Amino acid sequence: MAQASDKASFSAEERQSLVESARLCEMIVEANPSDTGALETLKEIYTKLGDRERLGQVVRSMASLAGGRPAAAGASIASRPPPSARGASGAAAAGNAPPERRPGAMWRLGDRLVAEGLVTGEQLQRALVAQKGTRDKLGSLLVRMNYLTEDKLLSFLSRQYSVPSITLSQLDIDPEVIKLIPGQLAERLQVLPVKRNGNALTLAMADPTNVLALDDVAFFTNLQIQPVVASEASIRQAIDHLYGNQGDRVADMMSELEEAEGDVQVLGGEDEFLGKTDVFELKESADEAPVVRLMNMVLVDAIRRGASDIHLEPYEKMFRVRFRIDGVLHEIMGPPKRLEAALTSRVKIMANLDIAERRLPQDGRIKLRYHQRDIDFRVSTLPTIFGEKTVMRILDKESLQLDLTKLGFDPWSLEQFNRAIRCPYGMIMITGPTGSGKTTTLYSAINTINSPDINIMTAEDPVEYNLKGVNQLQVNDEIGRTFAAALRSFLRQDPDVVLVGETRDLETAQIAIRAALTGHLVLTTVHTNDCPSTVARLLDMGIPPFLVSSALLLILAQRLARRVCSDCKEPYEGDEESLLPYGHVPEGLGKVAFYRGKGCQTCNFTGMKGRVAIYEVMPVSQEIRDLILRNAPTAEIREVAQSQGMRSLRQNALQKVLEGVTTVDEVLRVTLG
């Protein structure tokens, strides 16, 4: 990819893909001339294509941006023909009016209502005062204040704008037509698709002069939009009715977004160019291109719902957006396949990836500021047979819980773990499948023991959060900075505590064990099923039993279980007996209360909200050391550990059912019997 301006070396397909990427970037720059990320990408593409003329324009734009004259930069690029993908009314959006447009239009609307004798001057004044600081439309407000009837307003608007008016309550709308626009978008724009006729879509709007809404719908559906007026209240009602209850939440989100205008922005990455922050202004504002707005909407929605991952997935005939919330995937929307390239490219630009590279997996990072919260998105793209799949892991520092006592430990396990992390040397291993909360437990442990008088060093892949006063190192296999290499160089830096993100090979395990035996506390993770079998894993890797037995301090296995939603939690009568078949050890409780979630808005009607960690903690006692030394079978180690107080993952999880924190179904889902 590095061979610059060697035109002849491109295949027609590669060339086409570069041209397409350039077109998308031009779109982004056109909407936001100070989008330096897009400009930088353009520079790279035009260099590759050897297009000196456009390269010159881009370089001039970048130079004038650096000199603080973004307007000139925009002009030089925007003078090129508008890209065709903007949809039927693309031209309307290109002429984005300044924000003052709306109040001005409303004044005139008010004056005209007075001129036609529909309201009095005094009523208009009162309505304008009431409207200040709200997002209400003047017309609807006048109706609500009983100065004007809905019918009169509608026929007035219809005459004013020369568009027909309709009464939504009398219409029977085809569900296929409703599907043309996702609920979120309809809610945000306050529009409703009413009828499709070939290439034309009739769209009910309260304000048919809202060119941005027209543009977004045209862009999304690729249809010609024919607006009709309907009352705001009836549109809202119809949206609620036809799209289900998802509306309110999005409306809340949008109003919050508007209040937070200027508050949501993407910060630059670590890279030198992006090091100057403010690379992307991520605003839900009028001057963004539709693809940018749509992507922002997805990102903000994910944050608001507390999602941990966003999946953008191409399939043969469709494109799908899913969120992982509390460990479970939910389908969010299915934008048209046509928008796949635009949305994927937008994410790649934000993450500072090579948008022309579609055949190799890439990793990057987006830093976003939302409501004074810094949120990181770890982005990874992967070519699949139907196109590039993008997954974004959301790393929200604010929601990061670093208090060991709040993660879900039972008192006995917490005491054991607390004792181990305060030992001057030895090895602590945390085990569990992907996404089971291992990093969170590790970070909480580090946070607990962190103090100015100890040197803590970490090798991670990737570094997920910056911990104050901790020396963190990013592992990078490509340049030979492996876990093993990092660990080796750490040992020359006089650490007290060493965290090794993952022990996945013999070499790393050997050095980690050596470090643990030479005066360092080593914390690391592995992927095994439970505590006792972790011993066997180390032996299988090739570490001699005497080293394993003397280095290990404690093993901790964990899972995450969803909590019963605290907003709709209700008790029902149960019996401790009913838990016995699942491995519960009876405590003579008899009749007990179990809890379940009825389902409410907060939990998206799933009855579950938030998660709690389930732990299995095995301190390596003298007896267990002896067993390891003798190469005893895993079952024997488990038996001795249980006799010394260890409770299995399943048993601890069932305890959480008795405490009303989670449900039996959830326990069976996340733990093995």
Ligand X SMILES: Nc1ncnc2c1ncn2[C@@H]1O[C@H](COP(=O)(O)OP(=O)(O)OP(=O)(O)O)[C@@H](O)[C@H]1O
∠ CA 344-346-351, rounded to 5° = 95
152/124 Cα distance (integer angstroms): 15
Binding-site size, Mg ion (CB under 5 A): 1
Q: Least distance to ligand X from the beta carbon of 463, Å?
A: 12
Site for Zn ion in 603-622 (CB under 5 A): 603
Query: Which CA distances in Å does 470 have to 13, 75, 270, 508, 577?
Result: 48, 47, 18, 21, 48
Report if residue 602 touches Zn ion, rule: CB under 5 A: yes
Q: Which does 634 bind (CB under 5 to 8 A by kind): Zn ion, Mg ion, ligand X, none?
A: none
444/463 Cα distance (integer angstroms): 15
- Name which position in 41, 439, 528, 604 contacts Mg ion (CB under 5 A): 439
Residue type, 488: R
449/139 Cα distance (integer angstroms): 61
Residue 229 C-alpha from the chain's centroid: 36
Exposed / middle / buried, residue 331 (Cβ in 10 Å: 0-12, 13-18, 19+): exposed
Which region among 107-115, 382-390, 445-453, 601-609 touches Zn ion (by CB under 5 A)? Answer: 601-609
Q: Least distance to ligand X from the beta carbon of 382, Å?
A: 16
Quick one: 263 or 567, whose CB is closer to Zn ion?
567
Shortest CA distance to 503 belongs to which of 467, 532, 461? 461
Report if residue 663 touches Mg ion, rule: CB under 5 A: no
663/570 Cα distance (integer angstroms): 12
32/26 Cα distance (integer angstroms): 10
SS3 of residue 100 by DSSP: coil
- Name which position in 190, 296, 308, 648 contacts ligand X (CB under 6 A): 308
Pairing of strands 307-314, 265-267: unpaired
Q: Least distance to ligand X from the beta carbon of 169, Å?
A: 44
Q: Least distance to ligand X from the beta carbon of 437, Å?
A: 3
User: Residues 18, 181, 371, 396: is their CA dihedral positive or negative?
Assistant: negative
x/- site string to ligand X, residues 97 to 126, per CB under 6 A?
------------------------------
Binding-site size, ligand X (CB under 6 A): 15
**Count of Cβ atoms closer than 10 Å to residue 487 Cβ:** 27
Site for ligand X in 372-411 (CB under 6 A): 407-408
Which region among 91-99, 190-198, 202-210, 434-442 touches Mg ion (by CB under 5 A)? Answer: 434-442
x/- site string to Zn ion, residues 529 to 568, per CB under 5 A?
------------------------------------x-xx
Quick one: 307 or 654, whose CB is closer to ligand X?
307
Point out the residue whose Cβ comes nearest to Zn ion.
565
Q: Which two tokens stand for residue 467?
A: 């911990």
User: Residues 94, 137, 185, 34: is their CA dihedral positive or negative?
Assistant: positive
Binding-site size, Zn ion (CB under 5 A): 7
Q: Which does 600 bind (CB under 5 to 8 A by kind): Mg ion, Zn ion, ligand X, none?
A: Zn ion
**Count of Cβ atoms closer than 10 Å to residue 312 Cβ:** 24
Paired strand residues for 498? 457, 522
225/232 Cα distance (integer angstroms): 19
Residue with tokens 């997954």: 391
- Name which position in 31, 487, 535, 612 contacts ligand X (CB under 6 A): 612
Q: Which two tokens stand for residue 72?
A: 């000139």
Report if residue 524 touches ligand X, rule: CB under 6 A: no
Site for ligand X in 412-451 (CB under 6 A): 432, 434-440
Quick one: 437 or 532, whose CB is closer to ligand X?
437
Site for ligand X in 553-582 (CB under 6 A): 560
Q: Least distance to Zn ion from the beta carbon of 436, Å?
A: 24
Q: Least distance to Zn ion from the beta carbon of 118, Å?
A: 46
List of residues contacting ligand X (CB under 6 A): 308, 407-408, 432, 434-440, 560, 611-613
Binding site for Mg ion (CB under 5 A): 439
| Residues that bind Zn ion in the complex, under the rule CB under 5 A | 565, 567-568, 597, 600, 602-603
